């Protein structure tokens, strides 16, 4: 099922400041969408717009119960949303498996409802998938990484994995889009484990 995102407001800039692609672009031929929540979305988005094969990224809110949530509402933990990055990628250049492995490496998925000093359910670790293949890969990668990371002294992974069609991605306010390009010395919170994640990939990509 094609998962449609919802724009936060109609007058927001519609083009990615770095990639030059539409923020709300729907996937074309050989393209897919996946959603990652891994703490503060400013730094997460930057990691993925810098990743070869990623066509577009957008920050937003996902997994909550309120329509059209605002940043302040999400920060107040009244909506149930997680800060999330929507990623459109070219499957001929990068696989879902590689993106998912990168997702696990750029934060500490064993921290529940926080990343470092950022505390709250809006900073939880989550993946929303848009195809059965993505979903299976995410589950398998989580299991493989759990076995690997446990041997390095880390606890259970808290990352939830759900079908994106069960919720709505609400695009964040325009000043959150490409935030670290607009504010190169802006805040980033990357609490990483330092443990590499296995890539459950096919040889071609």
Q: SS3 for 178?
A: coil
Q: How far apart are CA 189 and CA 168, in angstroms?
A: 25
Give me the phi and psi of 85, to 5 degrees please: -115, 125
Residues pairing with 38 in the sheet: 125
Q: Which of the residues 40, 75, 189, 197 is marked catalytic?
A: 40
DSSP, res 157: -
3-state helix/strand/coil string of 59-93 = EEEECCCCCCCCHHHHHCCCCCCEEEEEEEEECCC
75 flagged as catalytic: no
Which residues carry out catalysis?
40
């Amino acid at each position: 099922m094609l998962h449609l995102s919802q724009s936060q407001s109609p007058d927001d800039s519609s083009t990615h400041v770095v990639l030059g692609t539409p923020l709300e672009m729907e996937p074309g031929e050989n393209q897919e969408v996946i959603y990652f929540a891994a703490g503060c979305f400013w730094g997460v988005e930057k990691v993925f717009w810098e990743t070869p094969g990623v066509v577009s990224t957008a920050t937003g809110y996902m997994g909550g119960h309120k329509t059209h949530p605002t940043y302040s509402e999400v920060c107040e933990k009244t909506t149930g949303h997680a800060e999330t990055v929507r990623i459109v990628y070219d499957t001929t250049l990068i696989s879902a498996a590689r993106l998912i492995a990168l997702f696990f490496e750029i934060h500490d998925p064993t921290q529940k409802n926080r990343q470092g000093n950022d505390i709250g359910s809006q900073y939880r670790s989550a993946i929303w998938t848009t195809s059965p293949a993505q979903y299976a890969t995410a589950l398998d990668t989580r299991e493989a990484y759990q076995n690997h990371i446990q041997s390095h002294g880390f606890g259970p992974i808290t990352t939830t994995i759900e079908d994106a069609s069960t919720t709505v991605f609400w695009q964040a306010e325009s000043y959150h889009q490409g935030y670290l390009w607009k504010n190169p010395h802006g805040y980033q919170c990357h609490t990483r484990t330092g443990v590499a994640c296995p890539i459950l990939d096919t040889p071609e990509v």
